[in-house]
Amino acid sequence: MKILTITCWSHKIKYYLLCSGGRAILASGIIERVGLGGSFIRQVVPGREPIVLESDNNDHQSAVALIIATLTDPQHGVIANASNISAVGHRVAHGGKEFRHSVQIDDSVLNSIRKLQHLAPLHLAPNIAGIEAAMTHLPEIPHVAIFDTAFHLSMPECAYIYPLPYEWYENHGVRRYGFHGPSHLYLSRRAAALLDKPVDACNLITIHLDRGVSLCAIRNGLSVDTSMGMTPLEGAVMETRCGDIDPGIHFYMMRELNLSTKELEQVLNNRSGIVGITGQYMERRRFVKAALDGEPRCKLALEIETYRLKKYIGAYLAAIGPLDAIVFTAGAGASEWPVREMVLDSLDCFGIRLDCDKNRAVRPEPEEVEITGEESLIRTFVIPTNEELVIAEDVAAILSGACCDHRHYGYSFANGDFVPSVSNA
């Protein structure tokens, strides 16, 4: 069985083609600048040099067609034709409270996803465009939706209800949903395996630290709180998103600068966070280096980012109770030892001690590394995430009739003998 996974953003699509139940990567790639002009595709096939091909992609329809054409290309592809693809797994940013686990997509499911667009307009529109494009180009095979929010629907009411008029929740769906569910699910299973404990006996704090940042408080294997809220804007400081701020600032700056709601939304999502503090977009590695070299605004941005992550850890310790482990993942979480060191500094009072030598020796490879210091009461891991494997295994399980929901399914990566792998796409 060969499964294609697709993750769509407004101007970018990431894809993987996997086989053997999702554990083997045949190819992975990304299309950049969809609809912006100057679009190109970059594909990686294990054992080959990456390829980069320029192409006009005015919309998701043409972009998905290009993915299929590249995968089946006689020179660059890995399959003879599109009929070799057994199913497509689509990462969907928001499933509301309706979708508690992955589901096969039919007209009814797609219409339900469309009705949820108001909850994540910046994310669901491209997700839907990708689904429609893939179903157009691959109409004869199953398509499955894997929801970012599903993992977090185990949160108790006290964690997901906002202190706002209750009818906003009842009539408009205003509540905490959380995101990065496949990543936090993967980390919970891998951490449990490394701890040699059943996942339903594990208490964890998982930290997905990349362009988007979210933390998850996991008690007995279930999400009981998470930093992102009704939208991905709430929570930690991110590359371009502000995270937690006083909502009174919104009204103040709208009056001061005569901003429309759309303009303010753009500022909070695309011109805030680290970009807002530093005043410039820059590659993450260059930003961290500049901060460590003492560039004032980069240094300030890094201090704000790590200070707020530290505060979340303290809050989640209080919410969870006795903690087994803290797990860092994703681009920055797995590759930046200074960030991990700054986040965990001065947490000895909670019994958290870091082995600085082990932490600084971590490389962004598929290995899972423990960086726990001596006499630490709480273990600390760096575990590269694998959201695509979660998507592929959910697709395979649904097609076989074996999957009910993530709480009861036996994922391959929950096993102690599982060997992680990642792609460079």
How far apart are alpha carbons 259 and 300 in whole angstroms?
27
| pLDDT for position 21 | 67
pLDDT higher than 50, residue 151: yes
What tokens does 195 get?
């701890």
Q: What angle do CA 245, 248, 249 make, to 5 degrees?
A: 65
Architecture of domain 196-382: 2-Layer Sandwich (3.30)
pLDDT higher than 70, residue 66: yes
Integer distance in angstroms from the first to the last C-alpha of the chain? 21
Quick: pLDDT tens for 370-424: 999 999 999 999 999 999 999 999 999 999 887 667 888 889 999 988 888 754 4
| pLDDT for position 404 | 64
| pLDDT for position 277 | 97
Quick: pLDDT tens for 257-294: 999 999 999 999 999 999 999 999 888 999 999 999 99
Tell me which of 6-10, 306-310, 421-425 is least confident: 421-425
> What's the gap between Cα 128 and its chain centre?
18
Torsion on CA atoms 122, 118, 8, 247, rounded to nearest 10: 40
Percent of the chain at pLDDT > 70 equals 97
**How buried is residue 61: exposed, middle or buried, by Cβ count under 10 Å (0-12/13-18/19+)?**
middle
User: Does this chain's domain 3-147+387-414 share its CATH topology with 196-382?
Assistant: yes
Identity at 178, one-letter amino acid code: G
How far apart are alpha carbons 319 and 155 in whole angstroms?
12
CB 147 within 8 A of CB 184: no
Question: 217 — phi, psi (to 5°)?
Answer: -95, 115
Read off the pLDDT of each residue in 44-55 and give the average, rounded to a whole number. 94
Active site residues: 148
Domain boundaries, the chain: 3-147+387-414, 196-382
Largest CA distance in the chain: 60
CB 8 within 8 A of CB 388: no
User: DSSP string covering 334-366, please?
Assistant: HH-HHHHHHHHTT-GGGT--B-HHHHHH--SSS
Quick: pLDDT tens for 111-134: 999 999 988 888 899 999 999 999
Instruction: Give 263's contacts (C-beta < 8 A, 6+ positions apart).
Output: none
| pLDDT for position 424 | 47
In this structure, the strands spanning 103-104 and 87-92 are unpaired
Quick: pLDDT tens for 67-92: 999 999 999 999 999 999 999 999 99
Q: Which CATH number fits domain 3-147+387-414: 2.160.20.10, 3.30.420.40, 3.20.20.150, 3.30.1280.10?
A: 3.30.420.40
| pLDDT for position 27 | 97
Quick: pLDDT tens for 188-239: 999 999 999 999 999 999 999 999 999 999 999 999 999 999 999 999 999 9
CB 13 within 8 A of CB 34: yes
Enter the pTM of the model: 0.94
